[in-house]
Structure 1
Amino acid sequence: MVVGEQIEDRRSEADKAKDAPLAKAEVDAAAREKCRDCPPLAGHEITKNFKEHKSWMDYQARVTGMRAGPLFLTEWKYEGREFDGFKATECLLMDAKAGYDQFFVAPNQFKYHFQREIMSDMVEKARKQHGVALPRPPVQLRWYFQEPLSYQYMAPLIAQISPTIQIIHLP
């Protein structure tokens, strides 16, 4: 439950988000009108800090367009769920995955059993995100995969959740 200081913190974060480069992007009148009907606008940015830089961070920042630095990423939180990015002009919630092909020795064949569990957790994350990415339309949910083996493995599993989840292989 969100109360008192948390409400003020959310308002403050929302005000800061309005000043972010992504929020200042010029859009045409039709896109602005569409944005007004986009429920995820009620969400807010969250910052994730890291002790060291990893290559997957570059992919996430490039794909989502969210603010990032060497040791931090900005993500989007909406209805208690975290998304790697959000584009208000498209009412688009995003997740971007990179670095998972190292789990595979061949298509659909994991090096270690625990890696299958990590991928199963990813499917569950998509399921939970799908549950709040409403209504469709205008809300869109899109998952990006940098590498082919992880894309090939995950695409049919995510598609089973809903055909409305867009699954993209984008190197």
Structure 2
Amino acid sequence: MPGPLAIPMASWIAEAIAAALARAAASAAAGAVLGGAATLPGDTPREDSEAKPTDRALPRTGEPCRKCPPDLGMKVRRRHGVNWNAYAYQARVTAYDYDTEYCLWSDEWNWKGIAIGKPFDIDFDGFISAQCLLQETKGDYDQFIGDDGKSESWFGGFKKMSEIIERQASAVHSNPPAKLLWYFQTPNTRERMLPILQRYRVNSVYYP
């Protein structure tokens, strides 16, 4: 993959990527059998809607019990603006559902907890309980980066991205053994965000 990772790739990152590839392959196979079409969730403003406590991620039967703070979170349904590519990319990575008819909502993982003595309430694009891994995906943000590597002054997406990294990192680092991995669909966006990712010790991967 182009470009270095934020830090050397750990085995759990490789496992997360392999899991995403396996889910994508299974989804494609199911679509071929059922004649279904696929698309998925994304990077748009998040609003509260339906929370489903029954969708809490639980350890698989037979796995040893272990403390994973994000397990106390729950899957929620958030409403978004229309962005088909972002939805499709998010779902391909996380395997969470989204609105395939109107592209108005996606399922995400909401986690409430304490970090540095302060409460937090944060949405993540996905969560893999077996790895205690929280996921965040970013679609085609390269479209907002010019040939000179700069973005238009009106576009505030990268500033917002930096704020999300800071908030998520604080929550994760304060609650071991929780882990966080950012997935980027396009390489230039990841390269642009590497300094802030490294500053807050967040692992990332270019996953087109």
Bucket of the pairwise TM-score, normalised by the shorter protein:
0.7 to 0.9
Which of 79, 96, 100 is the equivalent residue of 1:49? 79
Displacement of 1:52: 3.8
Asked if residue 170 in structure 1 is aligned to residue 203 in structure 2, the reply is no
- Partner of 2:99 in structure 1? 69
Q: Tell me the TM-score normalised to structure 1 length.
A: 0.76
Task: Say which SS state the counterpart of residue 177 (structure 2) adopts.
Answer: coil
- Cα 1:49–1:149 change in 2 (3 A) is same
Displacement of 1:50: 4.3
Aligned pairs for 1:32-111 within 5 A: 32-33=63-64, 36-50=66-80, 52=82, 54-70=84-100, 71=103, 72-79=105-112, 80-106=121-147, 108-110=149-151
Task: Say which SS state the counterpart of residue 120 (structure 1) adopts.
Answer: helix
Aligned length: 148
- Cα 1:28–1:134 change in 2 (3 A) is farther
- How far apart, in 1, do the equivalents of 2:99 and 2:190 lie? 26
- Partner of 1:113 in structure 2? 153
- How far apart, in 2, do the equivalents of 1:134 and 1:67 lie? 28
- How far apart, in 2, do the equivalents of 1:137 and 1:159 lie? 18
Write 1 or 2 for the structure with the bigger share of helix.
1
- How far apart, in 2, do the equivalents of 1:106 and 1:14 lie? 46
- Cα 1:45–1:27 change in 2 (3 A) is closer
Task: Say which SS state the counterpart of residue 33 (structure 1) adopts.
Answer: coil
Structure 2 unaligned spans of 5+: 1-49, 113-120
Given that residues 125 and 135 in structure 2 are in contact (C-alpha distance below 8 angstroms), is that contact kept between their aligned partners in structure 1?
yes
Given that residues 45 and 77 in structure 1 are in contact (C-alpha distance below 8 angstroms), is that contact kept between their aligned partners in structure 2?
yes
User: What amino acid maps onto 2:129 in structure 1?
Assistant: A
Larger RCO: 1 or 2 (CA < 8 Å, sep 6+): 2
- Partner of 1:6 in structure 2? none
- Partner of 2:168 in structure 1? 129
Which of 180, 193, 208 is the equivalent residue of 1:154? 193
- How far apart, in 2, do the equivalents of 1:58 and 1:132 lie? 27
Structure 1 unaligned spans of 5+: 1-8
Q: Tell me the TM-score normalised to structure 2 length.
A: 0.63
- How far apart, in 2, do the equivalents of 1:135 and 1:75 lie? 21
- How far apart, in 1, do the equivalents of 2:126 and 2:199 lie? 22
